[in-house]
């Protein structure tokens, strides 16, 4: 496993995300993920599966110190009354006294960034989160978050795959020393089906999905993988025994297109050009 270091955090470069996974799927797949070698798990309040993940991890016999656990505060809890209380509920669900990384899930459009960051700072200061970060912030919001936070903003978790150019965000992260975390890394299945990625993978004896994940990690990203199929878990993890050539890395970078973004929920999406 590789690690990405940012703001004092050492984050496993490959994580297992449980977005849209039912409790039954988590009960089935997460033990397989642990067996394969995954130690970084990513959930969120809005997913409705923190309790299932917490139960499986607690029953696994793994030492809590060997796991890296991320969750996200939902926008409906962005208030002085609800923010901290919602984190306490998440901790209870996850069967832990603190998460390794707590994120504000979306910037929204009704609560100032500075207030979101102040609440994250308060949670970290209370010991309920080792590190804090954000998700789905645009460049302007991220810079404001970094400038106003008392503690390092260690990551911005955003959509990233070969079809979406995030070079401006990558430049800001490099400038400020923070990490970027990629979600939707399979582009809703398009990566695994891409004949160009399959052709590249043939040179290494790897699948298109493995090439896509490896490309992210070689570019310095933290990559979240996800599958509800136990037989696919080991494939997603086995990306550390090969290295893409510079030519292959450059070719994949040309796959980005203007309509590459897939995640734009109404009422949550910021101005991505800002």
In the annotation, is 47 catalytic? yes
Question: ∠ CA(78), CA(179), CA(144), 5° rounding?
Answer: 45
Catalytic residue from among 47, 137, 183, 184: 47
Residue 118: other Cβ atoms inside 10 A: 16
Residue 140, marked binder: no
Burial group, residue 18, by CB count within 10 angstroms (0-12, 13-18, 19+): buried
Yes or no: say if 145 and 117 are a contact pair by the CB < 8 Å rule. yes
DSSP string across 37-52: T--EEE--GGGT-HHH
Residue 90: other Cβ atoms inside 10 A: 25
Yes or no: say if 150 and 191 are a contact pair by the CB < 8 Å rule. no
Yes or no: say if 107 and 270 are a contact pair by the CB < 8 Å rule. yes
For the annotated binding site, the residues are 105
For the annotated binding site for substrate, the residues are 105
Catalytic residues: 47
């Amino acid at each position: 496993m590789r690690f990405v270091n940012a703001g004092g955090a050492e984050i496993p470069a490959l994580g297992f995300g449980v977005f849209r996974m039912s409790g039954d799927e988590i009960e089935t797949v997460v033990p397989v993920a642990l067996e394969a070698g995954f130690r970084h798990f990513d959930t969120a309040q809005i997913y409705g599966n923190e309790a299932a993940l917490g139960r499986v991890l607690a029953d696994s016999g793994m030492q809590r110190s060997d796991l890296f656990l991320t969750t996200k505060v939902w926008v409906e809890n962005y208030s002085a009354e609800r923010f901290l209380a919602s984190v306490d509920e998440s901790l209870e669900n996850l069967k832990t006294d603190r998460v390794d990384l707590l994120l504000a899930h979306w910037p929204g459009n009704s609560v100032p960034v500075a207030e979101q960051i102040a609440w994250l700072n308060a949670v970290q200061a209370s010991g309920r989160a080792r590190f804090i970060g954000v998700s789905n912030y645009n460049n302007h919001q991220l810079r404001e978050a970094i400038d106003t936070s008392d503690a390092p903003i260690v990551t911005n978790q955003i959509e990233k795959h070969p079809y979406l150019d995030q070079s401006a965000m990558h430049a800001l992260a490099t400038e400020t020393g923070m990490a970027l975390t990629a979600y939707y890394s399979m582009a809703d299945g398009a990566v695994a089906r891409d004949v160009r990625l399959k052709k590249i993978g043939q040179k290494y004896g790897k699948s298109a999905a493995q090439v896509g994940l490896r490309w992210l990690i070689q570019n310095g990203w933290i990559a979240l993988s996800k599958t509800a199929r136990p037989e696919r878990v080991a494939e997603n993890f086995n990306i550390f025994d090969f290295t893409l050539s510079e030519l292959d890395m450059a070719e994949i970078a040309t796959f980005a297109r203007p309509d590459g973004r897939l995640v734009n929920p109404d009422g949550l999406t910021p101005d991505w050009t800002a």
